[in-house]
Structures are given as C-alpha cells and as structure tokens.
Amino acid sequence: MKSYLVQPDKKLDLSKHDPDGRSQFDGSKDDAQQELETLNSRLSELQELLYAESKHRILIVLQAMDTGGKDGTIRRVFSGVNPQGVRVASFKVPTPEELAHDYLWRIHKQAPGNGEIVIFNRSHYEDVLVVRVHNLVPPEVWAKRYQHINDFERLLTDTGTTILKFFLNIDLDEQKKRLQSRLDNPDKHWKFNIGDLAERKRWPDYMQAYQDALEKTSTDYAPWYVIPANRKWYRDLVISRIIVESLEGLNMKYPPSENLDGVVID
C-alpha cells in the first residue's frame, strides 16, 4: 500500500496519481468483495480489542471532491464494526460560534478518546482547501495553517493518537457520471446540490490546493494516502487494508484478567 503514500518532504504531483488505478489487486470485483468481507471481520475484532484495551486512539481523516465517495467509504469499510466504539464527525460550513474561535477549536473537540475510532468526514483541511479556493481569508492567513496543522497533529500523535488521512481521488469524468446519476434518480435528488456545479468549475484550483495540502502535511506521524477512487470497490479495499494493517501494528492485547480460578456462578 506504500505506493499510495504521499512521501513526507517530497514533491507531490497529483496528476501522476491515476484515479482509475488498481495496481494492488489483480482479481475480479467479486474477489475484492470477498477480501473486503474478511477485512471487515478483522477490523471488527481489532476494534473490539482497541475498545477493551482503551489505550490507543484512532483518527481517520477523509477528504474528497464532491461525490468523491466519503459516505460510501464509511458505510462499506466500517460495516460490521460495533457502533459503540466508532464515531463519525462531519464538518460543515462553520457556525458563527465556531468562526468566533480559532479554526482548530471545533476539530480538537471531536478528536478520539482512549479506545475510540473517529472518522472525520471533511476536516481541518477544509481550512486550506475551500477556504483557500474561495478566498475566505487572505493568503497570508491560510499559508500559516499548514504548520499549525502539522503541529496540531503532532500533539495528537504524541499523546496516543494514530492518524491516517485519505484523499479519495476521482476525476472530472467520474464526478460527472456520479452527478448525472443523482440527477437521473429521484431517490438521489436529496444528494444533488446545485452548488456542486459551481464547485466543479473550480476543479483545477481545488487540485492545486489539494496538492499543496497533501505535500505539506504528509508526515511520518500523520501520513496522507492518495486513493484511486473511480472504482468504489477498489477504494474500499485499499482503505480497509491500510486501516487493518495499521491497527495490527499497534500490537494490542486484551487487558489481563483477574484471577478467575475457582469462581462459581450461583
């Protein structure tokens, strides 16, 4: 999965990342579905262990262009996981109260506690993406944020949080297909946001903003992965593998039990 890692301190050329890529799996879609089910079960076991041990904290950051598949990824990758130990935090346009604070205030409040997995559906990265593209603050303000973000993520990882960040990489054609299918299907109209069409026109600006953000904030302690996301099944498979591998690496153990020898239940 290292091929999707954004190497810290190296230049990133997002255009070299193929949204249609599937180099890490040569089986069929059905084979992938089977592997995904196995990974789902393993993730469920690991999450129970994480919850029982109550020592580590897991933060998963999902960023994508509109229709990029954040919601579907959450549904598919975490299907089967006990909802008690997983929380999704979605970040929308900041409220007046949030805007009256520093931009990380609302983010820090949602960070995971011991034994918890939190998925950020959008995140503090919006403050160097949409905010930059729409000039919501001047360049000298957003330019400082990459360093703030690295320092903030360092604080979280120094205090027991594992951070994994995924950019779901689709292309303009795929977005068109997905928008069109929302338009064609009345049951999906609720997902169709007319504002997405204006954002679509700014695609190159967003790609530039993503490229800078990923390049400047992929660190060895909080890495970014660029996930080929035109194929939903491949996206889910790759993300599941990375999360499972990362949790396996924590070498978690169930807490030692009390001595239960001779315990009798009446």
Choose the binding region for ligand ADP from 81-89, 119-127, 153-161, 224-232 (rule: CB under 6 A): 119-127
CA distance 49 to 252: 7
**Burial (CB count within 10 angstroms: exposed 0-12, middle 13-18, buried 19+), residue 139:** exposed
Residue 201 binds ligand ADP, judged by CB under 6 A = no
Q: Which helix (H) or strand (E) holds 99?
A: helix 96-99
User: Which is closer to ligand ADP, CB of 123 or CB of 230?
Assistant: 123
Q: Please list every residue from 130 through 149 that binds ligand ADP, using CB under 6 A.
A: 130-131
Choose the binding region for ligand ADP from 8-16, 42-50, 127-135, 174-182 (rule: CB under 6 A): 127-135
Q: Please list every residue from 51 through 80 that binds ligand ADP, using CB under 6 A.
A: 66
Residue 203 binds ligand ADP, judged by CB under 6 A = no
When CB distances to ligand ADP are compared, the closest residue is 126
CA distance 13 to 204: 13
Q: What is the DSSP letter of 108?
A: H
Total residues in contact with ligand ADP, by rule CB under 6 A: 12
Number of C-beta neighbours around residue 37 at 10 A = 13
Q: Least distance in Å: CB of 136 to ligand ADP?
A: 6
Q: Least distance in Å: CB of 129 to ligand ADP?
A: 7
Task: Please provide the size of the chain in residues.
Answer: 266
Q: Is residue 89 a contact partner of residue 119, using CB atoms and an 8 Å limit?
A: yes
Residues at the site binding ligand ADP, with contacts judged by CB under 6 A: 66, 91-94, 121-122, 126-127, 130-131, 193
